[in-house]
Structure 1
Amino acid sequence: MYSIDNKQYPCSTSLTMRYIGGKWKAVILIHLIEKKRYSELRKECKVITERTLSLHLKEMEADGLITRTVHTSKPPLKVDYELTQFGKTLIPVLKAIAEWGKDTAENNDRISFVK
């Protein structure tokens, strides 16, 4: 049994899913393998609402997976997001999930690619 902020997780898988679970966190994290400006991330994740993207970014920052850097040197304000060292430990996991999805899509007649 694991515990974070008085919430218990019965196994290591549930602990992992606390960090990357849900519909969008893993998607956002894989886009952040390379540092991105908020505007770039927004374009790459256009199916995610702006509110949801902002909420997940705040949660992942609080969890120590990403850092947020605000550049105020000249208008307009620019914000960068990137994985922390802790967040980078997820890269092999995220790549494995993406590869599994790609292989599944290529080998399952029920799945079709839509542009």
Structure 2
Amino acid sequence: MKKETSSNSLNEQFLFLNCELNSALNMISGRWKAQIVYSIWSGNDRFSLVKRELSAISEQVLSRQLKELETHAILVKIPIPDTVPAGISYQLTSKGIALVPILQTLCDWGKQYAEGKRIHLLEDI
């Protein structure tokens, strides 16, 4: 937990209030969020399907990242009726769908300027 009066916390608050870019980056920052958004956009709408596609992610991290994306209204959880145990489907909101081409552009930028590092994010949308 951050101390709210620390200079780091105050600087973060200042940046969020004065630049929407910082708020936007905060919503999508995290090692897996972009890949999760793309996976759901590609049709992997269940936890197990996203986990299968992103096999290196732990279930705990996937769960936390999904909750954060839901908090930022990038995706929603939809209960699947008549399933035991209760099934959940994930769907991108209009905000999440609007994010996909932005992530693709960032991926293209990364491919060009990643200094020899191979980028696997959002290839061939």
- SS of the residue 1:64 aligns to: coil
Aligned: 1:17 with 2:32:
no
Q: How many residues align?
A: 105
Taking the TM superposition and a 5 Å limit, the aligned residue runs for 1:1-115 are: 7-8=13-14, 9=16, 10-35=18-43, 36-103=45-112, 108=116, 111=118
More helix by share: 2
Query: Can you give the 5+ residue segments of structure 2 that lack an aligned partner in the other structure?
Result: 1-12, 121-125
Q: 2:80–2:87: 8 Å Cα contact kept in structure 1?
A: yes
RMSD: 2.5
Residues 5-32 of structure 1, C-alpha deviation per residue, up to 9 Å, x if partnerless?
Answer: xx55142221111110121111211212
Q: 2:107–2:119: 8 Å Cα contact kept in structure 1?
A: no
How far apart, CA to CA, are the structure 2 residues paired with 1:103 and 1:30? Answer: 20
More strand by share: 1
How far apart, CA to CA, are the structure 2 residues paired with 1:12 and 1:103? Answer: 25
What percent identity do the matched residue pairs reach?
29
> TM-score under structure 1 normalisation?
0.75
1:96–1:112: structure 2 CA closer, same or farther, 3 Å change rule? closer
